[in-house]
Structure 1
Amino acid sequence: MSAVRPRMTHLFEQLGLEATEDAIELFIATHQLSAHTKITEADYWSDAQHQFLAEKLKSDGEWAIVVDQLNESLHEESTNR
């Protein structure tokens, strides 16, 4: 078992995305989802990324918390209306 808790940068690395703070902020700002679109249903994920996110959410472990944080961030604009 790993002693390091997953963080947003780790999630982005696992997804094969640039994991700098600026890159994460830009991704979130440019990939907002509608209120009715689940994070796993976003059309910009590859099959592997979709599978990773779905597995981590289903596991309900520490990774699920980070995926949920990303989910909330990707829905910020839809909740601010």
Structure 2
Amino acid sequence: MEISQHDMTDLFEQLGLGSSPDEIKDFVKKHRYTRDSTPLHKASFWTASQSAFLKQAIEEDADWAELVDQLDVMLRDE
């Protein structure tokens, strides 16, 4: 069984976003949102395809799920 090892750079590339450390940091800083019950994939700054990817990753517990969870924490961290 092959297990994919992804990192945050890979996730940002998968989402079609800038993936350098500075670009990731800037994205998180720009898109930080409150700790409410809104699921990550419903945040207003995602495109429809980005939202669908994030939702599917979590629902299917895909190999991206852990990174999506990490991104969620990064965006909600104050």
Please confirm whether the aligned pair reaches a TM-score higher than 0.5, indicating the same fold: yes
- Counting matched residue pairs gives 77
Judge conservation of contact 2:4–2:63 (CA < 8 Å) in 1: no
The match for 1:56 is 57
Report deviation, 1:31.
0.4
State the SS of the aligned residue for 1:62.
coil
The match for 1:13 is 13
Structure with a larger share of its residues in helix:
1
Which amino acid letter does the alignment assign opposite residue 25 of structure 1?
Answer: K
TM-score normalised according to structure 1 size: 0.87
Cα-Cα RMSD = 1.4
Separation in 1, partners of 2:33, 2:62: 24
Which aligned segments of 4 or more residues in structure 1 are displaced greater than 6 angstroms?
A: none
Gaps of 5+ in 1: none
Report deviation, 1:61.
3.2
Report deviation, 1:18.
0.4
TM-score normalised according to structure 2 size: 0.90
Report deviation, 1:2.
5.3
Aligned positions of 1:2-81 closer than 5 A = 4-36=4-36, 37-77=38-78
Separation in 1, partners of 2:22, 2:4: 22
Gaps of 5+ in 2: none
